[in-house]
Structure 1
Amino acid sequence: MTDPLPPITPLPSDAAVGPRFLISDLCASLESYLPPEQVSEVYRAYLFGAEAHQGQKRRSGEPYIYHPLAVARTLGNMRMDYKCLIAAILHDVLEDTPVAKDQLALAFDSEIAELVDGVSKLSRIDFESRAEAQAASLQKMLLAMTRDIRVILIKLADRLHNMRTLGVMRAESRRRISHETLEIFAPIANRLGINSIRVELEELGFSHYWPWRHLVLERAVQKASGARQELLSTVETGIKRRLQQESIQGEVKGRCKNLYSIYRKMREKRRSFSEVVDVFGVRVTVDRVDTCYRVLGQVHNLYKPVPGRFKDYIAIPKANGYQSLHTVLFGPQGVPLEIQIRTEAMQRAAESGIAAHWMYKSGAQGAAAPANLANDWLQNLLEMQRGDGNPQDFLDNVKVDLFPDEVYVFTPKGRILTLKRAATVVDFAYAIHSDVGNTCVAGRIDRRLAALSTPLRSGQTVEIITAPGAKPNPGWLGFVVTGKARAGIRGFLKNLKAKEAEDLGRRLLGAELSVLGVDLDQLPPARMSAYLKDAGLPETAALLTDIGLGNRLPALVARRLAGGDGDTAPAVSEDAAEPHPHRFAIRGTEGMVVSFARCCRPIPGDAIAAVFSPGRGIVVHRQECRNLGSLESKRNKRLDVEWAAEPDGDFPVEIRVDIGNRRGALAVVAGVIAEQGSNIENVQSQDRDGQTSTLEFLVAVRGRKHLARIMRRLRQIPLVMRITRVSR
C-alpha cells in the first residue's frame, strides 16, 4: 500500500536549474574527447531530430528536442562514442514521429538505426494490457541490449532525465513510472555497475513513489548527520594522520549512504534507523591494490574491527564488477562506522561500470572487469529467452537476477561463481551450463553428497553429478532462485510436455481412427491438409499436440478425418455425441500429459475412466470417484480407458491407519511399509482421543496387489485397529 501523496514541489528540471543546456554546449563539451568530424555528425543529428520533432512539446511545455539533448548530455559526460550520442539525440524519432527505420539508416547508418530501434517501445495496438505491452517492450530492449550494450545506456540516460522532470506528471503516472524505475531500471544500472546513475534513479524513484517515507527518512538522516559530523571528522583526521605516518598516499573522504539504500536495508532486515550501522562511513582511495590491504591493516590497528563485518570484494568482486574492501570499525565512543578502501581505478569503475569500457579505453586498470561481467549476464539473458519466450515470464526471470544478494562458491577446479543468496545445487548446475542443469541428479558440497535443493553458502566447493537420461523435475521450480535456472527448467519442461502431448495425441487419434476402419499413417494427405486449414493449424504435429493436451477431442477429429460430419469446429464441442466404447490403454509412462486425480488416487487394477482437461491432457479417475458424477452432463469429455497389460512405475495412494497411541507406533508402521517395498511420500498424524491416533500415509505402490499386501501386513500389527484406503 503506497503513502498518500503530499503536495508536490516539482523536482528541479534542466529548465529550472539555470540556463538551458543547448546544442552548442553539448558540442563544446564533446570537443574535449571527440574529433571535429564526429562532433559535426552529432550536430547534424540534432538538426535532423529538431526537424522531426518540430511542433512537439513535453508536458512541461518545453520543446521536445530538449529532452534528447539532455539524454545526450548524460552520455557525453560518460564519454560515449559519437554513434551512441547520435542515437541518443534520435532515440524517440521512430516512436514519436513519422520517420521510419530505413530512413534513419539512409540518413546516418544501419548501426545507429539499430540502436534507436532497440530503445523504441513496441506499439501497444497488439497487446491486451499495459502490463503485457510493457513486458514485451522491455524484452525487446533487453534482447537488443545483448547485441549492443549501448541500447541500455541510452535507455538509462533517457529514464534519468524523465525522472528528473517527473514532477509535472499526474500522481498516478508518477507512481507507475517510479515503480518501474525502482523495479527495473535502477537494478539494471546496478547490475551494469553504473553507480552514479543507479543512485540518482533510486533517489528520484523513492521520493515520488513513497514521498512521506522519503521525507521522514531524509529528516532522520539530517538530524543524525549533525551528531555524526564531529565523529566523522575525528575518524577522517585519525586515518589521514596514520596514512601520513606510514607514507601512504591516499584520499580520505566521509560519505552518507543514499536514502533508498537505507530504506531497503531497514525493510529487508527489519531494522530501525538507529540499527543501520553503515548510514555514515569513510572511503579511502589509494593508488594500488596492495596499498588497499596496507590501509586495511592500519585502520584495524587504529580502531577495533567489528567481528564478521569484513568483506573482500577485491579478491572476489561483486556480480557487477564492483571491487573494494569493506570493514566495520568501532569508532570513537563505540559508534560503528563502515570503511571502504579501493583504488582510483576501482572508484571509476564503481561510478561508471560498463561505461568505463568507453571512458577509459586506454587500458586503465579495472575498466574491463564490469564489461566482461556484463557480457556474461547478457549471455544469461539470451539463454533465458531461449528457455522461456513468453515476455512476462522472461521479465519475471530478469527481475529475479536484478536483485542479487550474492553468495560466492567454487567449482572443483577453483573457479568462482557468484549466485543469488539462497541459491541451491540446481542453481549452481544451471550457472555452469544449461545441459549440466538439465541432467543433474545430485551434488557434492565440500566432497559430501547433498540433495539438489540444498542452499549454498559462500566459500563452499560444489561438484555436480549428472546422468545421461536425467531430466528436470517440475518440483525444482519450488526451490530454485536464479532466473537462468527457472527459465531453463520451464523451457525444458515446456518442450518435453509438447513432445509427450504429441505422442499421446498420436495414440489417441490413431485409436479412434482404427475403430472407424482408418489407419492414421495411411490417411490421404489432402484430407489432413483440408482439416488443418479449416482448424487454422500449421502442421499435423500441432494437431496431435492439441489432442494430447486435451484441447481437441480425438473422437470428433477422427470422425471428421474419416469423412463424417462430427467435428465442424476446431474447438472442443459441448454437444457432441457420447464416445464409443473403445478403451485407451494407460501405461503410466505418458509423462505430464496424463495425470492421476488426487481425489481418488487410481492405481493399476482399479476400474478407471478419464476426463479431458484443456491444457493438461487427460486426468484419470477411479470409476467410482464421486467427482466423475459432476461430469455426466459433459459426457463428450469422457474417455473410456483401461490399464495396459504391464503398467510401468509407482503410483501414489493414500491409506488411513487407526492405531493405539503408543510411543514408537509410527516407526513400527513406517517400518512395515518399507519392508513391503513401498516408499512413504508423506505422512500426517492426528491424535483422536488420547488413546488412539490416526495416521494418513501417501505411499507409492505398483498396483492393487501390492497395496493389498501392504494392508494385509499392517493388520498383523497388534496396535492397528483399522486400515482404509482414502478417497476425497
Structure 2
Amino acid sequence: MEDSKLLQQTDDEMIDQAFKELLDSYLATKHRKKVEIITKAFNFAREAHKGVKRRSGEPYIMHPIAVARIVCEDIGLGSTSICAALLHDVVEDTDYTVEDIENLFNPKIAQIVDGLTKISGGIFGDRASAQAENFKKLLLTMSDDIRVILIKIADRLHNMRTLGSMLPTKQFKIAGETLYIYAPLANRLGLNKIKTELEDLSFKYEHPEEYLQIQKKLENTQMARVAVFEEFTSPIKAQLDKMGLRYQILARVKSPYSIWNKMQTKHISFNEIYDILAVRIIFTPKYPDDEINECFSIYASLSKIYKPHPERLRDWITHPKANGYQALHVTLMSNRGQWIEVQIRSERMNDVAEQGFAAHWKYKEGGGSEDEGELEKWLKTIKEILDDPQPDAIDFLDTIKLNLFASEIFVFTPKGEIKTMPQNCTALDFAFSIHTFLGSHCIGAKVNHKLVPLSHKLQSGDQVEILTSKSQFVQPSWINFATTAKAKAKILAILKREERTLQQRGEEEVADFFRSENLEYSSQNIKKLCRYHMLDSVEKLYSAVARKDIVLGESDKNVVLEKPSSQGWKKYITFGFRSNKSQKKEEDEEKPVAQTSDIDIKKVLHISTDDKNKNYVVADCCKPIPGDDVLGFIDDNNQVVIHKRQCPVATKLKSSFGNRLLAVEWESDQDLYFPVNLYIKGIDHIGLLNKITQVISQQLNVNIHKLTIESKDGIFEGRVQLLVHDVSDVKVLSTNLFKISEVKVVTRIENFDDKPEN
C-alpha cells in the first residue's frame, strides 16, 4: 500500500514538473498569455486519463503534455493548439464527447480535437488499407484547420521518440509509415527540424546497426569538422564584422538518415560524402524591408574571400519554395580544396525554415488565417484529388506522395504569371494545373514560343502556352507521362468515367447478341465468352465489344452452345500460345543457380510469432540474403514474403498494410548458399580479370556462377554472380576486391543486369 502511494506521489511530481516546463515554454513565446485555459485543459486531460499508463510504464498524461510542448516549442503555435494537443486523446480514449469539449472550452478547440480523433481511430486496424484510408481522412481535415495536421505530426514525433517500448513488428510499421507519409508531410509544411528527426528516428529503428555505425563515424570525425569550420569561417566573421552586421554562424551537420540515403542511392562510402558539413549564416537585417538585398550583399562579400561554384547558387529568396522556405545557398571552395555550402538567411527566414508556415501564421479570434499562397494552392490540389476518390488506397497514397516529395521549378504563363510546379513535370501536368478542361482538351504546347508535345519536360524559367482542341479527349497513354498528383488523378477519373460508359454500351450489345441468337443470357455463358477471348473479367469483355475489338459472331454462338468444333479450336489456341509468365518460369528452371525460392528459408530465419507453419519465400524485388535487415509480409496467398527493410516495395507495405507485417531475423546457417550479384568498376589494366577471379575463387574460395566484364576508353565495368552464405561474405569480398588498386567501385546490385546510379 505504501509503495503504491509513493509511486503515485512520484508520478504526480513528474506530471507537475512536465506541465510547469510546458508553461515556461509558452510564457517565453510572443503569443498572448492565455495560461488559464491551458491550465484548465491540462487539469481536464489529467483527470480524464487518470490511472492509465503507457506501454513504457509512465502515466498516460505525459504523452499529451509532450505533444503540447512540441506544438509550442518546435512548431510555434499558440494556446488553442496547446489546448487541443493536451486534449487530443480524450474523446478517443474516454467517455467524453466532442460536445463536452465544446461546452467546456470553445468551438475551435473542439473542432481541432474532433479532427484529430477522426484521423486517430483505426490507424492500427485490421483492414488492409486502414492506414491509407486514414491518411485520406487526415488530408481532408487539413482543409478545415491546418493545425490538425500540425498537432498530428507532433503526436507522431513523440510516438517515434518513445518507440523503443513497442513490439518489433509495430516498430517497423510505425517507422515505415512515418518515413513514407509523415516525414514528407512535415517537409511540405516547412517543418525541417521535425522532418529530420522523424527520418533519423525511423532509420534508427529500421536499420539499428547502420544508424549506430554512422553515429560513431560522425563522432570520430567531429574534431576534424570543427577544425575545418573554424578555419573556413574565420575570414567570413572578419568580413561580416566589417559590414557592421549582427549575426551568428552555425555548423550544419548532415543527418544520419541523409548520409545513409546518399550512401545507398549513390553507392558510395561514408568517407566519399563531401557535404556532411555546411555553414549557416543567420543575420538580423538593419532594415526589415531590405533583408533580400542584405543577403546578396553578404554573398558578394563572401565571393571575394572564396571562389563560388558557378552552378551551385540556389536562390530561394526571390522564388521561395512552396513550403515557404527562403534562403540563399552558395557553394564556396575552401583553402583546403573542399567545396562547402553556405546558407544565408535572415532571422525571419530562419524561423520559417525551422517552423514552416506556423512561424508566420497569426490566427484571428474565431478562426481564419492569413492567406498563405502556395500552401493554400497545395491544400486545394489535395482537396481536388480527394473529390475523385480512388478505390485503391495504395494508388491514392502514391499519387499524393508525388506531390509531397517533389522538388520545385518555376514556369511562366503567356501573361508572365509565375507558377510553382514539381521537377520533371510535363506540359500536360502544367495544363491540368491551370484547369481540368484545359488538360482534357490539350493537344500540345508552346514552350518559349516553340511547339512541343504533351510529354515535353519543363525546365525552370520556361514560358508555357497550352494549345487545345474541342475534338481532343483524354487518352489512356497520357497516364505514362503525367507526373503530378493532380494530373494523374484527373486523367484516371476521366478514363474510369469513360470506361464505365463504354462498359454499359458493351453490356447492351452483348445482351442484344444473346437475344438475337436465342441464347440464354446468364453469367455462366458470359464467362464462357471471356475464356474464349482470353479475358479475365466480364468488364473487359464489355469494353472490347463496345470498342469493336471483338465482333460477336457464329464462333461465339458455338462457344456458348459448347459445340465440339469451337472447343477444339479453343484447345488449339491454348496449346499453341503460352503466356510470358509460363515462358519465364521455364527459362528460370533452366538456370543451374540455386534459386532462393528453392531454399527452405525457415531454416535460416528466427520467427517471433506462431506463423512458423506458413510458407516462407524471398522477395524477387530485393532478394535479401542472411545478414540483411528484413521483415516478413503475409501476402494474399497467406505465405510470408521476406523483404529487405529498405526495399521500396516493403516501404509501401509498411505504410499501408502494417497489420500484416512479421518481425523476422536471420539465424546463422553455413550449409545454405544464396545467389548475390556484385557490380565492379575501375581502371582497365592487362591481367585485371585474372586478379579479380584470383581474389574470388582462390583467396576466398567462393563459387563464381556468372561473370561479365566490358571495357571502354580505359574504364572497365564488371558484373559477377556468386553463391554466398550471408552479408558478411559480401563484405569480405568487397574489402578484398578493393585491395586491387585498379578497382574503384564494388557494390551489391539486385539483378545481374542492373547498373547503380552515379
Cα displacement (A) at 1:432? 2.0
Question: Could you tell which deviates more after superposition, 375-384 or 472-481?
Answer: 472-481
Count of aligned pairs: 539
CA contact (8 A) 1:284 1:342 kept: yes
Q: Which residue of 1 aligns with 2:60?
A: 64
Cα displacement (A) at 1:349? 0.6
TM-score, normalising length from structure 1?
Answer: 0.67
Question: Which residue of 449, 463, 478 maps to 2:465?
Answer: 463
Question: Which residue of 23, 29, 52 maps to 2:19?
Answer: 23
Cα displacement (A) at 1:271? 3.9
Relative to 1, partners in 2 of residues 1:121 and 1:213: Cα closer, same or farther, differing over 3 Å? Answer: farther
Relative to 1, partners in 2 of residues 1:498 and 1:257: Cα closer, same or farther, differing over 3 Å? Answer: same
Relative to 1, partners in 2 of residues 1:627 and 1:357: Cα closer, same or farther, differing over 3 Å? Answer: farther
Relative to 1, partners in 2 of residues 1:479 and 1:268: Cα closer, same or farther, differing over 3 Å? Answer: farther
User: CA deviation digits over 1:171-195, x for unaligned, max 9?
Assistant: 2222221111111111111100012
In the alignment, is residue 45 of structure 1 matched against residue 33 of structure 2? no
Secondary structure, aligned partner of 2:386: helix
Q: Distance in 2 between matches of 1:488 and 1:347?
A: 37
Q: Distance in 1 between matches of 2:216 and 2:489?
A: 43
Relative to 1, partners in 2 of residues 1:357 and 1:506: Cα closer, same or farther, differing over 3 Å? Answer: farther
CA contact (8 A) 1:602 1:608 kept: no
CA contact (8 A) 2:411 2:420 kept: yes
Q: Which residue of 2 aligns with 1:722?
A: none
In the alignment, is residue 340 of structure 1 matched against residue 343 of structure 2? yes
Q: Distance in 1 between matches of 2:270 and 2:207?
A: 17
Relative to 1, partners in 2 of residues 1:454 and 1:245: Cα closer, same or farther, differing over 3 Å? Answer: same
Q: Distance in 1 between matches of 2:305 and 2:557?
A: 76
In the alignment, is residue 145 of structure 1 matched against residue 142 of structure 2? yes
In the alignment, is residue 283 of structure 1 matched against residue 280 of structure 2? yes
CA contact (8 A) 1:122 1:133 kept: no
User: CA deviation digits over 1:244-302, x for unaligned, max 9?
Assistant: 33444433222212222222333334444344332111111232110111111111111
Cα displacement (A) at 1:58? 0.3
Relative to 1, partners in 2 of residues 1:411 and 1:578: Cα closer, same or farther, differing over 3 Å? Answer: closer
Q: Which residue of 2 aligns with 1:398?
A: 400
Q: Which residue of 1 aligns with 2:410?
A: 408
CA contact (8 A) 1:430 1:437 kept: yes
Question: Which residue of 447, 450, 455 maps to 1:448?
Answer: 450
Gaps of 5+ in 1: 1-14, 517-553, 557-566, 580-589, 613-622, 632-728
Secondary structure, aligned partner of 2:507: helix
* Root mean square deviation of aligned Cα: 3.8
Cα displacement (A) at 1:159? 0.8
Question: Which residue of 235, 240, 256 maps to 2:232?
Answer: 235
CA contact (8 A) 2:506 2:545 kept: no
Q: Distance in 1 between matches of 2:408 and 2:557?
A: 47
Cα displacement (A) at 1:626? 5.0
CA contact (8 A) 1:122 1:136 kept: no
Question: Which residue of 525, 541, 544 maps to 1:595?
Answer: 544
The code of the aligned residue for 2:89 comes to D
Q: Which residue of 2 aligns with 1:436?
A: 438
Q: Distance in 1 between matches of 2:100 and 2:389?
A: 34
Q: Which residue of 2 aligns with 1:487?
A: 489
Q: Which residue of 2 aligns with 1:294?
A: 297
1:234-273 equivalence runs, <5 A: 234-273=231-270
Q: Distance in 2 between matches of 1:555 and 1:463?
A: 56
Q: Distance in 2 between matches of 1:400 and 1:50?
A: 41
The code of the aligned residue for 2:255 comes to N
Gaps of 5+ in 2: 1-10, 286-290, 531-538, 560-565, 575-758
Secondary structure, aligned partner of 1:382: helix
Q: Distance in 1 between matches of 2:139 and 2:309?
A: 41
Secondary structure, aligned partner of 1:326: strand
> Percent identity of the aligned residues?
37
CA contact (8 A) 1:236 1:254 kept: no
Secondary structure, aligned partner of 1:333: coil
User: CA deviation digits over 1:128-176, x for unaligned, max 9?
Assistant: 8454111111111111012210000110110111111111112222222
Q: Distance in 1 between matches of 2:441 and 2:271?
A: 49
User: CA deviation digits over 1:433-492, x for unaligned, max 9?
Assistant: 222222211122222211212222222222211222322222122222221111111111
CA contact (8 A) 1:118 1:151 kept: yes
Relative to 1, partners in 2 of residues 1:218 and 1:415: Cα closer, same or farther, differing over 3 Å? Answer: farther
Q: Which structure is larger by alpha-carbon Rg, 1 or 2?
A: 1
1:556-575 equivalence runs, <5 A: 556=521, 572-573=523-524
Q: Which has the higher contact order (CA 8 A, sep 6+)?
A: 2
The code of the aligned residue for 2:336 comes to Q
CA contact (8 A) 1:497 1:591 kept: no
Question: Which residue of 176, 184, 188 maps to 1:187?
Answer: 184
The code of the aligned residue for 2:299 comes to L
Question: Which residue of 115, 120, 125 maps to 1:118?
Answer: 115
CA contact (8 A) 1:239 1:252 kept: no
In the alignment, is residue 161 of structure 1 matched against residue 164 of structure 2? no
Q: Distance in 2 between matches of 1:204 and 1:625?
A: 63
Relative to 1, partners in 2 of residues 1:293 and 1:31: Cα closer, same or farther, differing over 3 Å? Answer: closer
User: CA deviation digits over 1:105-133, x for unaligned, max 9?
Assistant: 33334432321222225687899845411
Secondary structure, aligned partner of 1:282: strand
In the alignment, is residue 376 of structure 1 matched against residue 377 of structure 2? yes
CA contact (8 A) 1:146 1:381 kept: no
CA contact (8 A) 1:74 1:157 kept: yes
